[in-house]
Structure 1
Amino acid sequence: MTDRLAIALAQLNPTVGDIEGNAAKVRDARAEAAARDADLVVCPELVISGYPPEDLVLKPFFLASVRQAVEALAADTADGGPAVLVTAPWQQDGRVYNAALLLDGGAIQAVRFKHDLPNYGPFDEKRVFAAGPVPGPVNFRDVRLGVLICEDMWTGDVAETLAECGAEILLVPNGSPFETDKHELRVNLAVARVTETGLPLVYVNQVGGQDELVFDGGSFALGADCSLVAQGHRWREQVLLTRWVREAGVWRCEHGETAEPDAGIPSIYQAMVLGLRDYVNKNRFPGVLIGMSGGIDSALSAAVAVDALGADRVHLVMMPSPYTSQDSLDDAAEAAELLGARIDTIPIGPAMDAFATMLEPAFAGRDPDITEENIQSRARGMTLMALSNKFGAMVLSTGNKSEMSVGYATLYGDMCGGYSVLKDVYKTTVYALSRWRNQTLPDGARGPAGRVIPERIITKAPTAELKPNQTDQDTLPPYDALDDILECLVERDLSVAEIVSHGHARETVDRVWRMLDRAEYKRRQAPPGVKITRRSFGKDRRYPITNGFTSLIGKA
């Protein structure tokens, strides 16, 4: 009977659809694990296809390519080295499953299917996968392993069945995306499964960015007494080795590295950096373009971009109008200097004059209004897109969640871009992130240490500078009040009466609700961005554009 087992947790960063590249990552992880005398390598969820593969799994050729890659990896294990537990889309008996496959001795030794398919928030696995039966344990070198694929751990049924069927160690491959406080939730759920079954648990999570999702890694292992016996790093790839020994019929981890996980503002910043880095690199953009306004949103976006990509891949563009203050020009220039990034100035005055002349006959007899303000924003968007077309860099939009919630943004203007790192970040959090970055150089950052955002950018009143003496608070409630109301409406689904009980004026809550609902058509056309909160705009929150429910405002 085997009484010792070395399990390597392969925390990898796959790319959706890059089957060959993902298989190569598994091979590299196996080679590293073999050099450290591992017996088994456990990989994240759907590592061969990348996660989430969405409708790629509906293509028969894609499934065939996945099968070929898995079979080739299985053949590799004939060398007597570590076995590998991979997960992949797997077609069997005319149905497609989210499957875990044990590769050992040159063959696929066992296949288990995901039983509990998530169908909420960004997940819609029931649309593309069939649910498998509750799985039984897998026999591996005289050890009975219980395999739960991601969501199978979030409720107790699968773990309970595996324990009843004689499982000795629970293995959990995951594709669990980042949200604030999500790591603590994962650990608490794992503790619940260990408490219920009395079995140790190994949790392997993906790392990296995939469209709007960011996977933070943080793989870990728990002993049968619920103690944390191993903890992987967050935000980077790692092969974490754990060594287990069986004593009196119970497996105990006698060696495992424990890294300290981050939380709060540091974890949000790291999610933004990793999400942007992988979006740009995996989509093969040479770099990014950012319109600098001299305000805090563009300054923070620029800092994140430099930390993600390096200053040489970040091109900043100041596009002043006649309403742009000298302070804004100076602040944008100082931010670029602190970051070491290139900044160019392209005035939009000529474009404003051209549009005024062109539209003068059509606008005859009408006073200037928000139309002329939006023309300025759209001239800037067109300028950035022209630079993107000419030189290939992706435009990074800079709007935050507070603005996107209430429609304080110009369609085809400052909303132009291929990606947004602040899309799910409220304005009050923008300030907190900026202050933190000025005091901290994040792990893995490619930007400079020290202050990167001028202090005046943080302390001055925010303004779009589209007309004289304009500030955001001319149009919006103060951001601390606005963000609290929005969090109640968006993340918590509270009623108007409940939000008023927080101390907000009824008319303010009504007004914010109206703005939130009326801006849905804008958000549908916004670029993707990093998911940070429990409910980001997009797949997490699917509201109709044509929506008569707002007629109940004032009655709720």
Structure 2
Amino acid sequence: MTDAIAASTRTIALLHLAPRPGEIAANRHSIEQGARQAAARDARLVVTPELAVSGYGFRDLIGTGWIAEGQADLFAWAGALARDIGATLVLGTPEATSDALFNSMIVFAPDGRLTGRHRKINALRVGSESWSTPGDRPTVIAVDGIGRVGFFVCADMYSPRLVDETAAQGIDLLLSSAAWAPGLHGPSGEWERASSTTGRPVLVCNRTGCDALDFDAACSVAAVSGAIAFSHAFPQPGLALVDWAPDARRLANWRVETVPRA
């Protein structure tokens, strides 16, 4: 990386956490720990995994009534956290409207405002995700200091059409939160393909730990030009940091730190 590019880089933090199903307070504590650790490394964008607030298999343990009941408090907490760390926070959480529940990424700006959301489109209608309603549109959000970001949740990357429709809105970077374990239905080239067809880097914030599945070998990755450029998988929760040069649309200098378990 040249000196000019290095001077204009922004650090992006992927919180490779181990959310516990149904343990909302513990998961919030883990997110806050990771976000503050990321801020100490000058991260400008902090991303959490899919359903980081609730864990993946929460429904059978605590139901879904808490989602709407606690949403105002949750969003107030997340906004305050984003403001405290001075960074954009992408929160993976169940989301409630007056008539539906969604598997969402909620975006909070550095001043604490809720500035956008992406609702998982390729949501499973059986098993651990059967509580959620599929989203109905691609999402691109302008993120302070980062650029125009296309948002995906996990299996949304299965769909070349969704990738194309997102890219058509004009993007600098593709970003996915995930709870995507390797195995029979695990990732199989979707991230690499998206980086190749769009000509833009793909960052994936995956998770670890045991939930409805064993996620210990699940990878958080950066895909560039059709190949995996960086990857991290480890049973211990971690903080993956990567430098992003917005003007050059280039990722570099991947490094990982451990994060204490909640």
Match of 2:95 among 90, 98, 101: 90
Structure 2 partner of 1:51: 56
In structure 1, the residue matched to 2:156 is: 152
Q: How far is the alpha carbon of 1:4 from its aligned partner?
A: 2.9
Contact kept? 2:57, 2:128, Cα under 8 Å: no
Aligned to 2:123: 117
Partner of residue 176, structure 1: 180
Distance 1:169 1:66, change over 3 A: same
Cα deviation per residue 1:112-165 (whole Å; 9 max; x = unaligned)? 211111246xx453x311111122201111511111000101121221111000
Q: Tell me: CA distance 1:170–1:202, structure 2 relative to 1, closer, same or farther (3 Å).
A: same
**Aligned match for 1:135, one of 134, 138, 142:** 138
Q: 1:166 aligns with which of 155, 160, 170?
A: 170
In structure 2, runs of 5+ residues without a counterpart are: 1-6, 257-261
Structure with the larger RCO, 1 or 2 (CA within 8 Å, 6+ apart): 2
Task: Give the number of the structure whose alpha-carbon radius of gyration is greater.
Answer: 1
Contact 1:56 1:62 in 2 (8 A): no
Q: Secondary structure at the match of 1:112?
A: strand
**Alpha-carbon distance in structure 2 between the residues aligned to 1:234 and 1:197:** 29
For the 8 Å contact 2:242–2:254, the answer to whether it is kept is yes
Q: Which runs of 5+ in 1 are unaligned?
A: 259-281, 283-556
Secondary structure, aligned partner of 2:138: coil
- Answering whether residue 30 of structure 2 is matched by residue 33 of structure 1, we say no
What is the Cα deviation at residue 172 of structure 1? Answer: 0.7
**For residue 223 of structure 2, what is the aligned residue in structure 1?**
222
**2:193: which partner in 1?**
192
Q: Which residue of 22, 28, 36 corresponds with 1:23?
A: 28
More helix by share: 1
Distance between the aligned counterparts of 1:189 and 1:178, measured in 2? 13
Query: C-alpha distance in 2, partners of 1:162/1:168?
Result: 11
* SS class of match (2:135): coil
TM-score, normalising length from structure 1?
Answer: 0.42
**Identity rate of aligned residues, in percent?**
23
Q: 2:245, 2:116 → 1: CA distance?
A: 24
2:221 partner letter: F
Give the whole-Å Cα distance in 2 for the aligned partners of 1:76 and 1:23.
Answer: 11
Confirm or deny: 8 A CA contact 1:16 1:51 kept in the other structure. Answer: yes
- Measure how far apart 1:254 and its partner are: 2.4
Contact 2:67–2:94 (8 Å) recurs in 1: no
Distance in 1 between residues matched to 2:62 and 2:122, nearest whole Å: 18
Mapping of residues 254-273 of structure 1, within 5 Å = 254-257=252-255
Moved over 4 A (4+): 55-58
Q: Contact (CA 8 Å) 2:21, 2:61: kept in 1 or not?
A: no
Supply the AA of the counterpart residue of 1:43.
T
> Residue type matched to 1:179 in 2?
G
Partner of 1:210: 211
Counterpart Cα distance in 2 of 1:161 and 1:52: 30
Alignment root-mean-square deviation, CA:
2.5
The structural deviation recorded for 1:222 is 1.5
After superposition, residues 374-413 of structure 1 pair within 5 angstroms as none
Match of residue 246 from structure 2: 246
Alignment size in residue pairs = 249
Could you tell me how far apart the structure 2 residues matched to 1:57 and 1:102 are?
Answer: 25
Pick from 86, 108, 112: which aligns with 1:106? 112
Paired with 1:180 and 1:96, the residues of 2 have a C-alpha distance of 28
> Which residue in 2 is equivalent to 1:412?
none
CA distance in 1, matches of 2:205, 2:81: 22
Deviations 1:401-442 (A, max 9, x none): xxxxxxxxxxxxxxxxxxxxxxxxxxxxxxxxxxxxxxxxxx
Counterpart check, 1:76 vs 2:84: no
2:259 is matched with: none
What are the superposed Cα offsets for residues 175-222 of structure 1, whole Å, 9 maximum, x if unpaired? Answer: 11342794xx44x111111112111000111110125x1112321112
Separation in structure 1 between the aligned mates of residue 102 and residue 121 of structure 2, nearest angstrom: 9
